[in-house]
A and B are shown apart, each in its own frame.
Chain A
Amino acid sequence: MKITQKDVEYIAHLARLEVDETLVDKFAEQISSILQYIDKLKDADVSGAGLMAGAALQSNVFREDVVKKSPGPDVTLANAPERHEDFYTVPRVVG
């Protein structure tokens, strides 16, 4: 599966990533060869196989909905790059 420079830029955009322009060509080539290798999965006979999304013993884990003490904003926001009182601040989101 051949990936072009434009494809790399578009997929990066979906991932909210911007590839440095010096790397885009190299990435296109490397990712193309990876996807080409991965394409061999098309030859696998998966008829009758179930999906296996995880490796854990596949059952849901529940707990009682009991309110516990929370560490508080001074702990949870301690690593905030920018903060205003108990809020994270970020650049303009809309408008």
Chain B
Amino acid sequence: MDLHELTIQQAKKGLATKEFSSVELVNAMLDRIEKLDGDIGAYISIDTDGAKKAAAEADERLKNNDHAPLLGIPVALKDLRCTIGVKTTCASKILENFIPRYDATVVSMLKSAGAVIIGKTNLDEFAMGSSTENSGFHVTRNPWNRDYVPGGSSGGSAAAVSAQMCTAALGTDTGGSIRQPASHCGVVGIKPTYGRVSRYGLVSYASSLDQIGPITRNVSDTAIMLNVICGHDPLDSTSANIEVPDFTTALAQFQTESLKGVKAGIPKEFLSLKGLDPDVEQAFNNAKKTLEDLGVEMVEVSLPQTDYAVAAYYVIAPSEASSNLARFDGVRFGLRVGEADDLIDMYKKTKSKGFGAEVQRRIITGTYTLSAGYYDAYYGRATKVRSMIRDDFDRAFEKCDIIISPVAPTPAFKIGQNVDDPLTMYLTDIFTLSTNMAGLPGISVPCGFSSKGLPIGLQIMANRFDEMSLIKAGYGLEQTLDVKPKFPDI
């Protein structure tokens, strides 16, 4: 196998047995990026010098029998979290040259675990989007078919993992932004429970919905990444002070037979959705049958607020975004447009020049829904619907252990197809955003292909802090289905 083809597990083994060094592994990755990324556009920036230095340091640590969980492994980061001394742009012109003076907590955790940060990946600007077409710099193309989107907003990270231009990556998920691109790119993506992973140093889009999670080549690698990045952080007051299970050890001891008797809920409102692509429906049914053959019992559940979930999300998320993005005003960091008459003029000119169209749209929508006279009708009401969505899930989880569904109503769509139609774009999040609203964990695991050869994933959701059920069910499905090809032939 070529070095770029290795999973985290395989790479760790090879590094431990000195079959190759981290410098060789990282160089192989850098070569592959140079060969492919001009065409795919997964990355915004590559930290060649930093990566080579970190790889050399990893090799030193390996010589001393250091067993840090990600030692020497090339990892890519969605360019939405602060990396000290390395540009962090959020794919926005307003932060095009911004260099943070501190590391986000997850970045520190990755570095302590020995990971080599290879570069920052492309995203929809400030994570607002479902296709990575809203990036302020360039569009990322789906490695399986360049005419199609990789999904979003973590499209760069998903494309980088799928095209084997990094061993693993981190993304963020506010309404589906890890799960949907993972599904569209044929890789594994998990959004942990809200509070499982620290948001300190993550540039906030919607603070009550955002969560960081790994995008990997398989579920075993997901478990390794979760072990590293989950945990309480006193610097993030929304971080949960709850013990983190050892996902890798649990998975090593896991037998697929123990899935017998697990109850999987299927939300009846999801499957009766108009516009569900027949290829997606078929892949879902195939995955469902596979789980049934493993002894998983299917149970019908109801999520009655499904009809209002998208509307409630697109009140809450833009409202929080309008508040969070107010800080980008040219005063303390980022772009400042000069020649302003006064302070307000400077704010306006800076934001108008720095923010792209989708970001401006969401700020305006969010400002409207929070404004006097409209706050109760929109934001107040949406938060009530949100508590009902959470109650729907609580009731459903009384009848089942996990909930399964498609990830998106269709496979990846063509580049340019929805970019001028924001509402159609928003509706593609219907299956994923309820999990963010309720703060629950959800994973996307590859389960098939469309008739055009585009990947399709299965979404599995679980109760609060029960990522373990997702890892186990995801692993059982992955091993049994053995979806091929695993990666595009490029």
Binding site for B on A (CB under 8 A): 3, 8, 11-20, 23, 27, 30-31, 33-35, 37-44, 46, 49-57, 61, 63, 71, 75-82, 88, 90-93
Contacts and interface: CB of A to CB of B under 8 A. Distances in A.
Contacts of B340: 91
B413 interface: no
Contact of A93 (B343, B361, B371, B377): B343
A3 B486 CA distance: 47
Contacts of A54: 207-208, 238
Given A51-B383, A55-B439, A79-B98, A41 B364 contact: no
Nearest to B310: A37
Interface of B: 98-99, 101, 194-195, 207-209, 234, 237-238, 240, 305, 307-308, 310-312, 314-315, 322, 326, 329-336, 340-349, 351-352, 355, 357, 360-361, 363-365, 367-369, 371, 377-378, 380-388, 390-391, 422-423, 426, 436-439
Nearest to A16: B347
B384 A51 contact: yes
**Which one of B307, B322, B387 has the greatest number of beta carbons of chain A within 10 Å?**
B387
A14 B207 CA distance: 21
A35 B371 CA distance: 14
Contacts of B368: 3, 11, 31, 35
Contacts of A71: 101
Nearest to B345: A91
A15 B208 contact: no
Nearest to B340: A91
Nearest to A17: B351
Contact of A51 (B234, B348, B367, B387): B387
Contact of A52 (B331, B348, B387): B387
B344 A14 contact: no
Contacts of B101: 71, 75-76, 78-79
A-B pairs, 7 with minimum CB distance: A55-B439, A52-B387, A81-B336, A79-B333, A16-B347, A18-B348, A46-B384
Contact of B195 (A33, A57, A77): A57
30 contacts: A11-B368, A11-B371, A12-B364, A13-B348, A16-B329, A17-B355, A17-B360, A17-B364, A18-B352, A19-B352, A30-B422, A31-B364, A31-B368, A34-B361, A34-B423, A41-B311, A41-B381, A44-B305, A44-B308, A44-B381, A46-B381, A49-B385, A51-B383, A51-B384, A55-B438, A56-B208, A56-B240, A57-B195, A81-B335, A91-B342
B380 to A, nearest CB: 7
A29 B351 CA distance: 21
A13 B195 CA distance: 34
